[in-house]
Amino acid sequence: MSGVDAVELAVFQSAMHSIAEEMGAALRRTAISPNIKERQDYSCAVFDAAHRVIAMGDHMPVHLGSMPMSVEAAVSALRLERGDVAILNDPYAGGTHLPDITMVMPVFCEGKDEASFFVAARAHHADVGGMFAGSMGPAREIFQEGLRIPPVKLVRGGVVDEGLMAMVLLNVRTPQEREGDLAAQIGACRVGEQRLLGLVERYGVERLGVLGEELLDYSERLVKAELRMLPSGTYEAEDFLDDDGVTDERIRIAVKISVDAGAMTVDFAGTSRQVAGSVNAVRAITLSACFYVLRCLLGEDAPATAGILRPLTLVTEAGSVVDAWPPAAVAGGNVETSQRMVDTLLRALAKAAPERVPAASAGTMSNLTIGGVDAQTGSVFTYYETTAGGMGASAAGDGLSGVQTHMTNSLNTPVEALEFAYPLRMRRYGYRRGSGGEGMHRGGDGLVKEVEMLCDAEVTLLADRRMVRPYGLEGGAEGAAGRAVLREGDEERELRGKCSARVKRGAVLRLETPGGGGWGR
């Protein structure tokens, strides 16, 4: 084990993980927006000198698997020096979608001219400009989705670039909230820096480098051992997105997984070409989905490092919906297509390990954004939330009801916090009984949420599983499809999964999320 005993490695792993977790706690405590403070829609991670992730917080899978590309993009584009913090959100330069803004900070040890570590904090901001309040609408190109930030220095030598900050804040609907959340991300990075320097004082940077290498190798060995337990072969599956919000055409996600001698090749050949709507995903998202599925094969105590991806070969076709070219719109690729990729990957793996893989969960984050001007205060507001659904059942038992699954790991906005922060009233919030698929083990139920507008507002949905329902496995039934109904006065109308509508005060949106698939006859 390269001069590293198991106990020392376990202590190092826990120390690095605790740094990422403490960064997240600092971000949550100091943020302003309910989306970060209450829903915890953020992620933090620690990287070594070679930009390889060596620790992640227990945060958002869709963030964490793709964040290394953001760090790589920042380090490649900039000469990061002591006290600098880079900012970026460009999906075509290491990002995911525009609301996810990433901060990257180098950590320099005393007497070293090059960074010994990097820390990164990513958070979903409730608005970054664009056509739709909340920046999560059915756009047709990325220029309609909001402010696009390449890797640039927001902090230079410890001093915030006020000109750049002013430019960012001038292009969003809620500048005070954005400024507070950005400051919280900078603070989280500084917490990570201080904790890493404390470890350097204790162990020395050279010893930490040895431990980091061993941790990467350990993660790789764990993944290879799990892959060797799967029967060698090629396993194929397909699933579909309902539409792209522009046409009614279904969008195919196809995958072929080849497992052999501790290695895995994932090939998305046959997947639909990129589309006019916003459900295109960049390659970073696709890699993130694969990273998540590999993590699911491991035990909970396995270190989440770059070593997990070493046995993986990922094949995507440029210009497809899982490897989009600019200027394709991508807001939904991060939240919806990522979920469908995981559904498809697990459906293929179920053929290799039917007792280990659950049926499909809700398969959509049921994204809801509401924006407008608060009639009482005269201030602009933007509310964003993903809504939980049903978990798929498995050989181990029934699926859970009303939980965030797979690529999202966020919480809900408590009703009290929502009604305090926004001109909205929650009329109903509970389980959607009977929406889980039947089977030997039942799928979990989705949720029902009714929100009343207390002012004129723009309501935007970015959701799926309206037409193509969550699949069951081993004879289990499908989960119920999701739906949304808007009630204005005496009139009711069903909304498409991907749409935006301007509504009057008193309108009520009823959102019903999908249930999970059943398992077994």
* pLDDT tens figures, 63-107: 667 889 999 999 999 999 999 999 999 999 888 999 999 999 999
What pLDDT, on the 0 to 100 scale, is given for residue 411?
87
Q: What is the chain's mean pLDDT, rounded?
A: 96
Interval 457-508: pLDDT, tens: 999 999 999 999 999 999 999 999 999 999 999 999 999 999 999 999 999 9
Interval 28-48: pLDDT, tens: 999 999 999 999 999 999 999
Strands (E), 12-116: 42-48, 53-56, 85-88, 100-107
User: Can you tell me the distance from the alpha carbon of 230 to that of 413, in angstroms, rounded to the nearest whole number?
Assistant: 40
pLDDT at 26 over 60: yes
User: Can you tell me the distance from the alpha carbon of 194 to that of 85, in angstroms, rounded to the nearest whole number?
Assistant: 14
Q: What is the DSSP letter of 336?
A: I
User: Can you tell me the distance from the alpha carbon of 120 to that of 133, in angstroms, rounded to the nearest whole number?
Assistant: 27
What pLDDT, on the 0 to 100 scale, is given for residue 505?
97
Q: Nearest CA to 46 among 159, 206, 222, 199?
A: 199
Interval 174-183: pLDDT, tens: 999 999 999 9
Interval 117-163: pLDDT, tens: 999 999 999 999 999 999 999 999 999 999 999 999 999 999 999 99
Amino acid at site 21: E
| pTM reported for the whole predicted model | 0.95
Interval 279-307: pLDDT, tens: 999 999 999 999 999 999 998 889 999 99
Asked if residue 370 lies in contact with residue 315, where contact means CB atoms within 8 angstroms, the answer is no
Asked if residue 151 lies in contact with residue 77, where contact means CB atoms within 8 angstroms, the answer is yes
User: Can you tell me the distance from the alpha carbon of 49 to that of 203, in angstroms, rounded to the nearest whole number?
Assistant: 16
- High-pLDDT (> 90) share of the chain, %: 94
pLDDT band of residue 2 (cuts 50, 70, 90) is low
Q: Nearest CA to 54 among 86, 80, 18, 24?
A: 18
What pLDDT, on the 0 to 100 scale, is given for residue 410?
86
For residue 265, give the 3-state DSSP assignment: strand
Backbone angles phi, psi at 236, to 5 degrees: -120, 150
pLDDT band of residue 57 (cuts 50, 70, 90) is confident
What pLDDT, on the 0 to 100 scale, is given for residue 1?
45
